[in-house]
Amino acid sequence: MERKWDYKTSLWVDWCPGCGNFGILTAVVKAFEELGLDPSKTVIVSGIGCSSKIPHFVNVNGVHTLHGRAIPFAMGIKLANPELTVIVHGGDGDLLGIGAGHFVALGRRNLDIVVIMHNNGVYGLTKGQASPTLPLGVKTKALAKPNIQQAVNPILLALASGYTFVARGYAFESTHLKNLIKMAIKHRGAAFIDVLQPCITFNDVFTAEFYRKAIYKLDDDPSWDPVVRKPEEAREKLLKSIEKSLEWGDRIPIGVFYVNEYVLTFEERLNKRLYKYPAINPSNATIEINGKSILSQQEFEELFKDYIVVVER
Amino acid sequence: MFILKEIGIILGGPQGAGLETSMAILGRALTRKGYGVIADREYFSNITGRHSYIHMLISSTKLPRSLGYPVEILASIDAETVFTHFKDVAEKGVVIYDKNQLDKNIDNVPSMEDYTRERIKIILARLGVNPTIENIVSYLEKERNVVPIEIDFISIIRKITERFKIDPRQASRYVSGLIVSAISIVIGLEEKFVRYGFEQQFRERRHLIEHNMALYELVYDSIATFRNIVKVDAPRIALNKLMILTGNDAIAIAKIIAGVRYQSYYPITPAADESFTIEKYEYNEVNGKAVGPIVVMQTEDEIAAICSAIGASLSGARSSTATSGPGFDLMVEGISFAGANEVPVVITYYQRGGPSTGQPTRGSQSDLMNAVFAAHGEFARVVLSSGDHVEAFHDTVEAFNIAEKYQVPVIHLLDKFLANMIASVPVPDIDRVKIERGKIVFSRSNYKRFDLSNLISPRAYLGADNIVMWHSGDEHDEYGHIVEDPENRLKMYSKRIEKMKLVLEETPSDIKMGVYGDKNPDYIIVGWGSVKGVALDAIEMLGDRIKLCYINMKLLWPFPQKEFLEIVKDIPRDRIIAVEHSHGVNIASLIAMSTGITIDRKIAKFTGRPITLNEFIEAIEKIVYRNEKRMVLAYGA
Ligand SMILES: Cc1ncc(C[n+]2csc(CCOP(=O)(O)OP(=O)(O)O)c2C)c(N)n1
Ligand code: SF4
Ligand SMILES: [Mg+2]
């Protein structure tokens, strides 16, 4: 692209003023700019929720799907055309409530997709019900009674599921978040970023003020090295990051928890079976010649000979 | 000894005893000699022990389309088979049984359901027969002139295990070969064809060919006197090359040829075998031409199956998923998304018995309304059904063409009968395969995915050069951005629905329906899917007494009202008979809402077993001669 591409669309962004999603949008746009992503080869796939409106605000391909289902849509998009950079955005309800099964499945596959979770502790778009990341006993504004369900730990779940890049960011630490996003995009394999996102309208407990006091950067500790540098280190690094993931409350770490590039990506696993994949893939394989089958009658019969019986008179 | 044009066989035994293997070996061996073969497989939702059976028809004159009772041969691996099917053996037929089961009493068959046992006991009591194999065999011999053929399974198999030093725990593996041998001997199928069957089946385990041929010789020596006892006539079918395959396989092969490059599934009976077959062929080269790669994804659930198939389609792959009722229910929201975003995707829907888990391994056509109407909102979709293996092959290709030309979800509605039925069919004519991908844009600035200037907005694939586009499940503008403006809503909503008119206008009439039989019929029978074979045989057999026509409905939605009305215009309304494997015979309701014609003569079957020729003919006769309105069929174990 010769001219500088504007990664922001001209649409009016209809989040509540002060919403953490603005910080995330800024970080995404900046990360794309710095990476110089080709907008026609980049796809943002989202679910449903306040957060999931983000594809409309970013000037790359956008697929705004169903509540909880962004990951399977993204998987189909990526598997069919592995050349694309595919980024999933979703809310905490979207990814860890209704879509939790898909979240786990993506980790198991280690497909080269980035998942960015807008973690606001509530179901924003349906007016503030408790989300799966809201701790037990917490009563946010719109709740009639304190939350009776326990929170799931997104970092721990991502690690347990097999994501090979796991990080946490904060919506209003835009530069830090932008760097995480860039790293996640460059990572080969399934990457997850849990983004703490204040919801100014419905979450009066986990507010910007709360986070400003609680968060600290993992990077500030020079001895923190989350990257698996040789395969034998994987277990030890994983255990350390699991331990780190348990920190919550007064001190909440942000930054990279775990990176392991020694796990085969799904594309690599497919390559062992599909031979020319990903270069030749479902989106570019020849399936017809002038509207006809690529196989002649004879070739068809050769390919499916196991089903063919020649009558012996 | 007598010679027949066609022979019906029931071959039964416990689940896990290798009946499917027997079916495949026999099917290939018979086809090799030039016979036409069709076989239904009936089984429980169980892996080991429950009663399963193959119902097969061998024809010397044609490729058979339907099954019927009684059968000439009852070949049993266990006692339960004899108890369950003895009444289905024809006069002068044959019962093959294991000598070691002779004194077995029905009360000592734990795998049999209590309900079934009581039912059979009542029948036997009425006949005055004590419920043991010995008594049933002698009843069949005396009262029905059935020839009993006794085989000592244990001693024959022991000889094999001893000769080849096979671990006796593996002995049960040889039962399928034993029964295949016995049937072949009885019907006069020559040794070389039996050998061919074994060779094809055990291509990758060649030692088993030798073992099974040795088995064949032992069985031969043991029952030589019964050779040719129900001989099937020499084949007179003018085809030199046939395919023998299940419906699942026919569709899998068709998908590969149609260009499917992404197939997703979550395991479910009776759909999963289709994906297995595709996976087997995920990448091949023929004459240097690559066929593939096909990504076959076993997803975490059916929701992911449909959503990922839609995703793959957005990237430009021909994509599909296969499932049955419970899985389809989970896919419904995804289908609604495909409708809203005009994404081509094919859902191959094999109906089984519902509701809920229902009868997971039995057939049904009770999901017609589910396929046509499930999902919120209104949008264009196409529901296509196929009457047999050959139709299913070509319709599969057509399903993708329709999906891509009109940018709609296409539901290819089939059922368990077709899925599991093996049939010998002509090799499909590949020249007939047309691949139409619709209007596609490869590069354009200011591209609008949902351009309103045409009912069909040219499609671009994600990743197309210089194109940036949006899709949204929310109502959207031409670019795909969320817009709730009422005027935009009116245009966008209507456009999506009105595409159905194009489908009706442009789809060739043979894809809409097939009309068979008399040009000036006394009665018209209307059905769809797996009813076709039995309906065609019935109208042929009744032809000299009742002039009948069969309409095989294929395009079920949008309903081809005009063509349907044209066919039925001269027939009095009370002379239309609808038939379906369901309670409601719901095709009648679909016709009523689409054409205003009410059909009140119905033939229904919802036991999970396919409609057989004998009961279908009887039902038509009762409707025609005795003015019956509703016939509920229940034949078959
Ligand atoms: C199948 C389905 N169920 C329910 C909804 C309603 N719904 C819309 S958004 C939402 C929750 C959003 O919460 P979250 O995913 O955390 O996103 P946020 O709005 O907080 O960004 C729900 C339940 C829906 N769209 N689809
Ligand atoms: S409701 Fe909360 S999450 Fe949604 S836009 Fe408003 S502040 Fe943001
Ligand atoms: Mg939320």
Cα separation, B222 vs B224, whole angstroms: 6
User: Are residues B149 and B25 part of one domain?
Assistant: yes
Which ligand is closest to the CA of A94, given by its number?
1
The two structure tokens encoding residue B174: 């040889």
Q: How far does the centroid of ligand 2 lie from the alpha carbon of residue A152, in Å?
A: 21
Tell whether ligand 1 has an atom less than 6 A from the beta carbon of residue A92: yes
Task: Give the pLDDT band (50/70/90) at residue B487.
Answer: very high
Token look-up 């319709």 returns: B395
The amino acid present at B24, given as its one-letter code, is A
B491 to each of B292, B356, B460, B500, how far by Cα in Å?
39, 39, 21, 15
- Number of inter-chain CB pairs under 8 A, A vs B: 264
Which is more confident, B1 or A189? A189
Give the model confidence (pLDDT) of B383-431 as tens digits. 999 999 999 999 999 999 999 999 999 999 999 999 999 999 999 999 9
User: Are residues B73 and B192 part of one domain?
Assistant: yes
Ligand 2 atom 8 nearest Cα: A19
**Boundary residue ending a domain (B480, B507, B534):** B507
CA distance B260 to chain A (A): 8
Rounded to two decimals, the pTM is 0.98
Is B323 in contact with B360 (CB distance < 8 Å)?
no
Q: What is the DSSP letter of B429?
A: -
Give the model confidence (pLDDT) of B84-126 as tens digits. 999 999 999 999 999 999 999 999 999 999 999 999 999 999 9
- Kindly state whether residue B103 falls inside one of the protein's structural domains: yes
Task: Give the pLDDT band (50/70/90) at residue B443.
Answer: confident
Tell whether ligand 1 has an atom less than 6 A from the beta carbon of residue A147: no
4-33 in chain B: CB under 8 A from chain A: 28, 31-33
A40·B470 Cβ contact <8 A: no
Residues of chain B with pLDDT > 70, as a percent, come to 100
pLDDT at residue B562 above 80?
yes
What local confidence, expressed as pLDDT, does residue A3 receive? 63
Output the ligand 2 site: residues, CB below 6 A: A 15-16, 19, 21, 50, 120, 124, 199-202
The amino acid present at A98, given as its one-letter code, is I
| Cβ burial B77-112 (10 Å sphere, 16+ → b, else e) | bbbbbbbbbbbbbbeebbbbbbeebeebebeebeeb
If one counts the domains in chain B, the total is 4
Please say whether the dihedral angle defined by the alpha carbons of residues B586, B590, B593 and B595, taken in this order, is positive or negative.
Answer: negative
The amino acid present at B206, given as its one-letter code, is R
Residue A81 CA neighbour count, 13 Å, CB half: 26
Cα separation, A288 vs B462, whole angstroms: 20
pLDDT at residue A94 above 60?
yes
CATH of the domain at B619: 3.40.50.920
Name which of B63, B40, B434 is nearest B243 in CA terms: B63
User: Are residues B352 and B425 part of one domain?
Assistant: yes
CATH of the domain at B30: 3.40.920.10
- Kindly state whether residue B571 falls inside one of the protein's structural domains: yes
Tell whether ligand 1 has an atom less than 6 A from the beta carbon of residue A131: yes
Give the model confidence (pLDDT) of A47-93 as tens digits. 999 999 999 999 999 999 999 999 999 999 999 999 999 999 999 99
Which chain B residues are within 8 Å of A300, Cβ to Cβ?
257, 428, 430
Atom number, ligand 2, closest to the C-alpha of residue A51: 3
What local confidence, expressed as pLDDT, does residue A248 receive? 96
User: Are residues B469 and B357 part of one domain?
Assistant: no
User: Are residues B612 and B589 part of one domain?
Assistant: yes
Give the model confidence (pLDDT) of A129-139 as tens digits. 999 999 999 99
Is B330 in contact with A66 (CB distance < 8 Å)?
no
- Kindly state whether residue B363 falls inside one of the protein's structural domains: yes
Which chain A residues are within 8 Å of B437, Cβ to Cβ?
288
pLDDT at residue B620 above 60?
yes
Which ligand is closest to the CA of A201, given by its number?
2
**Mean pLDDT across chain A:** 97
CA distance B477 to chain A (A): 12
CA nearest to B316 within chain A:
A283
**Omega of the bond prior to B558 within 30 degrees of 0, cis?**
yes
pLDDT at residue A165 above 70?
yes
Which chain B residues are within 8 Å of A293, Cβ to Cβ?
257, 430, 433, 435
Cα separation, B254 vs B276, whole angstroms: 14
* Best mutation site among A71, A95, A126, A195 for ligand 1 pocket (most ligand atoms within 8 Å of CB): A126
User: Looking at the DSSP assignment, which residues form a beta bridge with residue B458?
Assistant: none
What local confidence, expressed as pLDDT, does residue B445 receive? 86
Cα separation, B334 vs B230, whole angstroms: 54
- Kindly state whether residue B238 falls inside one of the protein's structural domains: no
Q: Any idea what the Cα angle at residue A39 is, between residues A33 and A42, rounded to 5°?
A: 100
User: Are residues B354 and B259 part of one domain?
Assistant: yes
Please say whether the dihedral angle defined by the alpha carbons of residues B130, B135, B140 and B141, taken in this order, is positive or negative.
Answer: negative
Average pLDDT over residues B37-57: 96
Give the model confidence (pLDDT) of B277-335 as tens digits. 999 999 999 999 999 999 999 999 999 999 999 999 999 999 999 999 999 999 999 99
**Omega of the bond prior to A17 within 30 degrees of 0, cis?**
no
Name which of B471, B168, B204, B485 is nearest B314 in CA terms: B471
- Note the helical H segments in A81-139: 92-93, 100-109
| Separation of first and last alpha carbons in chain A | 67
- Kindly state whether residue B241 falls inside one of the protein's structural domains: no
Give the model confidence (pLDDT) of B489-540 as tens digits. 999 999 999 999 999 999 999 999 999 999 999 999 999 999 999 999 999 9
User: Are residues B443 and B407 part of one domain?
Assistant: no
Give Dmax (Cα) for chain B.
85
477-536 in chain B: CB under 8 A from chain A: 480-482
pLDDT at residue A285 above 60?
yes
| Cβ burial B415-431 (10 Å sphere, 16+ → b, else e) | bbbbbbbbbbbebbebe
What local confidence, expressed as pLDDT, does residue A1 receive? 46
Tell whether ligand 1 has an atom less than 6 A from the beta carbon of residue A120: yes
Average pLDDT over residues A284-300: 98
**Boundary residue ending a domain (B475, B507, B539):** B507
- Kindly state whether residue B211 falls inside one of the protein's structural domains: yes
Average pLDDT over residues B567-585: 97
pLDDT at residue A275 above 90?
no
Beta strands in B386-497 (DSSP E): 409-415, 422-426, 470-472
User: Are residues B566 and B502 part of one domain?
Assistant: no
Q: Which helix (H) or strand (E) holds B347?
A: strand B345-353
Cα separation, B490 vs A23, whole angstroms: 36
Residues of chain B with pLDDT > 90, as a percent, come to 98
A294·B291 Cβ contact <8 A: yes
User: Are residues B102 and B166 part of one domain?
Assistant: yes
Cα separation, B145 vs B141, whole angstroms: 5
Q: What Rg value do the Cα atoms of chain B yield, rounded?
A: 26
Cα separation, B204 vs B128, whole angstroms: 50
User: Are residues B485 and B453 part of one domain?
Assistant: yes
Instruction: Give me the domain span that covers residue B304.
Output: 246-432
- Kindly state whether residue B239 falls inside one of the protein's structural domains: no
Is B175 in contact with B211 (CB distance < 8 Å)?
no
What local confidence, expressed as pLDDT, does residue B616 receive? 98
Name which of B594, B618, B591 is nearest B605 in CA terms: B618
A261 to each of A160, A166, A188, B481, how far by Cα in Å?
16, 12, 7, 37
pLDDT at residue A2 above 60?
no
User: Are residues B226 and B260 part of one domain?
Assistant: no
B175 to each of B77, B170, B237, B259, how far by Cα in Å?
7, 10, 31, 40
Atom number, ligand 1, closest to the C-alpha of residue A67: 26
User: DSSP string of B558-582?
Assistant: S--HHHHHHHHTTS-GGGEEEEESS
CB-count exposure of residue B215 (10 Å: 0-12, 13-18, 19+)? buried
How long, in residues, is chain B? Answer: 637
- Kindly state whether residue B456 falls inside one of the protein's structural domains: yes
Q: How far does the centroid of ligand 2 lie from the alpha carbon of residue A214, in Å?
A: 21
CATH of the domain at B309: 3.40.50.970
User: Are residues B309 and B222 part of one domain?
Assistant: no
Average pLDDT over residues B365-373: 98
Q: CB neighbours (10 Å) of residue A30? A: 18
What local confidence, expressed as pLDDT, does residue B1 receive? 62
**Boundary residue ending a domain (B432, B455, B482):** B432
Is A282 in contact with A79 (CB distance < 8 Å)?
yes
User: DSSP string of B107-145?
Assistant: GG-TTS-HHHHHHHHHHHHHHT--SBHHHHHHHHHHHH-
